[in-house]
Amino acid sequence: MNRLDRRIRLLRGRNRVAFDPNQLRVEEAPRARAARLVRGALQTGRPVIVRHARWSAIPWWLHDIAIDLQVSERPIDASVLDLSVLARSGEAATRLPDLLGRALGVGGAPKAMVSTSRESFRVQTAMVLHKARAKRRRKALLCLGADLLGYERLQDLCDAFAEARTEMTPGTSPLLVVACRIGGQSLDMPHAMSFFLPDPTVQESRTMAAELLGAGDPEQLAELVDAVGPVPAFLRQVCLAGGATDPYGVREALGPMMRELAEAVDIVSARSQLADRLELLAQGTQPFDQEPDFALLRAGLVAVHGKSGPKETSLRSPLIRSLVVVED
């Protein structure tokens, strides 16, 4: 076969597989699309701020992104750091620079410089980031639970990464992804890409369930998603417990999460306006109402739909409806 014939055969082969029939379904998966946005921003050197609702299974979502970055064509050494551990221990001021250095693979901050002042924190963090300059692979830090760290400390962290980005040679400064719950104060970080991570669609939820349970009966996967709703943490917990679809089995599989959900409903129901709004949403999707719906969104009970045109609000899970509506 001469060179021209070989090129023609290759081109014909490419034409047959140029379009993936599943590509449209993949593009309509909002969490997968959001992960691609994060990877694309980091590959171009931009920091990312991700706002998310409660029970969004952020740790697993960030770990998947970190793995994808490490095996991409232009690999980035990405690691995930849970900042909520520091917030619960009350040692964020003294331990955070040390943990940043260990997560970035450059060792901890000097012991002699440990201090609780903001200025000392900035100096220590700047030293760690300069040590983490890219020599072969660029480094990235994916932080979850950032909203529990405190606004001042979190803003100082963002400022340190922004200063490192301007002071270092382009393409060498460490990268930052900050994931925090919706409702907190807005962060100021130059050139950052910021977006809200939505819940998965029904089809994406079934795919998530199939990844955990195996490609079994499609009707069983559909029943599971209908019973639990497209809430990532709920789906993951029920699937890991065996994939129950009956109401009692789902509640038992959720365990502590079900108690957290009931407590969230009880807390917002203490306000008559929010209690009335929950009862109305239990009847079906309603037009978006800014004041009550944003409070319910912060509590993790509702989802807001629609980017262009009128927005609508609905309960995130049938489990929430079962806690709001008392059946006779």
- In which domain, by residue range, is 168 found? 20-197
Mean pLDDT of all residues in 205-215: 86
pLDDT reading at 299 higher than 80: yes
Q: 216 and 187, same structural domain?
A: no
pLDDT reading at 89 higher than 90: no
Lowest mean pLDDT among 79-93, 107-121, 308-322: 107-121
pLDDT reading at 77 higher than 60: yes
Gap between the Cα atoms of 29 and 33, Å rounded: 6
| Beta-carbon count within 10 A of 179 CB | 24
Which of 241, 243, 272, 263 minimizes the C-alpha distance to 320? Answer: 263
Residue 7 lies in a domain: no
Q: 236 and 215, same structural domain?
A: yes
Domain end marker among 197, 227, 255: 197
- Structural domains counted in the chain: 2
Q: 245 and 131, same structural domain?
A: no
Give the residue with greater pLDDT, 189 vs 230. Answer: 230
pLDDT reading at 98 higher than 90: no
Q: 312 and 170, same structural domain?
A: no
CB distance 61 to 232 below 8 Å:
yes
Write the single-letter amino acid at 236. Answer: R
Output the pLDDT for position 47.
Answer: 93
Q: What is the greatest pairwise CA distance in the chain?
A: 80
pLDDT reading at 3 higher than 70: no
CB distance 275 to 269 below 8 Å:
yes
Q: Report in angstroms the alpha-carbon separations of 103 from 34, 223, 280, 281.
A: 24, 41, 46, 43
* Residues contacting residue 192 through CB under 8 Å, at least 6 positions apart: 46, 47, 48, 49, 158
Q: Which of 129-143, 249-263, 301-315 has the highest mean pLDDT?
A: 249-263
Domain end marker among 163, 197, 231: 197
Q: 317 and 189, same structural domain?
A: no
Domain end marker among 197, 220, 240: 197
Give the pLDDT band (50/70/90) at residue 147. Answer: confident
Q: 185 and 47, same structural domain?
A: yes
Output the pLDDT for position 119.
Answer: 80
Give me the CATH number covering residue 167. 3.40.50.300
Question: Strand, coil or helix: what is 304?
Answer: strand
Query: In the predicted model, what is the mean pLDDT of the chain?
Result: 84
Output the pLDDT for position 76.
Answer: 92
Mean pLDDT of all residues in 2-23: 54
Output the pLDDT for position 313.
Answer: 94
pLDDT reading at 129 higher than 70: yes
Q: Report in angstroms the alpha-carbon separations of 328 from 35, 283, 315, 319.
A: 44, 16, 21, 17
Gap between the Cα atoms of 193 and 147, Å rounded: 17
Residue 228 lies in a domain: yes
Mean pLDDT of all residues in 312-326: 90
Give me the residue label for tokens 């940043």.
100
Residue 310 lies in a domain: yes
Residue 5 lies in a domain: no
- What residues does 195 pair with on adjacent strands? 50
Output the pLDDT for position 126.
Answer: 86
Q: Residue 187 corresponds to which tokens in the numbers above? A: 């962060």
Output the pLDDT for position 190.
Answer: 83
Mean pLDDT of all residues in 212-222: 82
Residue 251 lies in a domain: yes
Mean pLDDT of all residues in 50-67: 93
Residue 70 lies in a domain: yes
Q: 243 and 120, same structural domain?
A: no
| Tens-place pLDDT, residues 252-268 | 999 999 999 999 999 99
Q: 119 and 96, same structural domain?
A: yes
Residue 4 lies in a domain: no
Q: 151 and 45, same structural domain?
A: yes
In what side-by-side order are the strands of the sheet with 312-315?
A: 286-287, 312-315, 302-305
Output the pLDDT for position 155.
Answer: 87
Give the residue with greater pLDDT, 244 vs 112. Answer: 244
Lowest mean pLDDT among 96-105, 110-119, 263-272, 292-301: 110-119
Gap between the Cα atoms of 57 and 52, Å rounded: 10
Length of the chain measured in residues: 328
Q: 206 and 193, same structural domain?
A: no
Give the residue with greater pLDDT, 104 vs 149. Answer: 104
Query: Taking the model in full, what pTM does it have?
Result: 0.85
pLDDT reading at 112 higher than 50: no
Mean pLDDT of all residues in 86-108: 75
Give the pLDDT band (50/70/90) at residue 36. Answer: very high
CB distance 72 to 39 below 8 Å:
yes
| Beta-carbon count within 10 A of 159 CB | 17
Q: 209 and 91, same structural domain?
A: no
| DSSP element (H, E) containing 142 | strand 138-144
Q: 155 and 261, same structural domain?
A: no
Residue 142 lies in a domain: yes
Output the pLDDT for position 115.
Answer: 53
